[in-house]
Amino acid sequence: MIKKILLGVLIIIILFISGSVYVYRSTKEFLSTPYKTERVDINIRIKKGMSDKDIAEIVYEKGLVSSQKRFYYFLRFLHKNKGLEVKAGEYILSPDMTPWQIAEKMIKREVVRYKVTIPEGLRYEEVAQILEKEGI
C-alpha cells in the first residue's frame, strides 16, 4: 500500500517537473525568437492608460508576435513582478525583433521622434497647420 502511494507521489512529481521544464523552455524560445525574419517597419501607437491586454492585442494584430496570450502574460509579469510598464507613445517595430526586444523598446520609451521647425511669432493655428502638413 505504501509503495503504491510513494509510486503515485513520484509520478506526480515527475509530471510536475516535466511540465515545468516544458513551460520554461517554450517561454524562453518564444521570448528569444523573432516571429518572422523579414525586416518591415510597423508603426504602432500605445495610448496612455492602455492595459497590458490591449497592448498585446495590438502587437499581435500587427503581426509582430506569434502569440497574443504569451506576450500578454510576459507584459503582465514585467508589470506585476518587476514594476516595469510599457510607456505611451508611437513606436516603429519589426517582426524580426524578438518579443523581448519589442517589450524592452516600449518600456524604455524608444519612441518615434519628429523634427519640425516652427518659425518664431506664429499663431497656434499656423503651428497646427505646419504640424498637420508634416503628418503629426
Q: How many alpha carbons lie under 13 Å from residue 121 in its C-beta half-sphere?
A: 0
Q: What is the pLDDT of residue 132?
A: 87
| Amino acid found at 54 | D
> Whole-angstrom Cα distance, residue 33 to residue 17?
24
pTM of the shown model: 0.78
How confident is the prediction along the chain (136 residues), in pLDDT tens digits per residue? Answer: 888 899 999 999 999 999 999 999 998 999 999 999 889 999 999 999 999 999 999 999 999 999 999 999 999 999 888 888 899 999 999 999 999 999 999 999 998 888 888 888 889 898 888 888 877 7
Are the C-beta atoms of 116 and 134 separated by less than 8 Å?
Answer: yes
CB atoms within 10 A of CB 106: 23
CB atoms within 10 A of CB 52: 19
Q: What is the pLDDT of residue 12?
A: 95
Q: What is the pLDDT of residue 15?
A: 95
Q: What is the pLDDT of residue 56?
A: 96
Q: What is the pLDDT of residue 13?
A: 95
Burial (CB count <10 Å: 0-12, 13-18, 19+), residue 124: exposed
> Whole-angstrom Cα distance, residue 105 to residue 122?
35
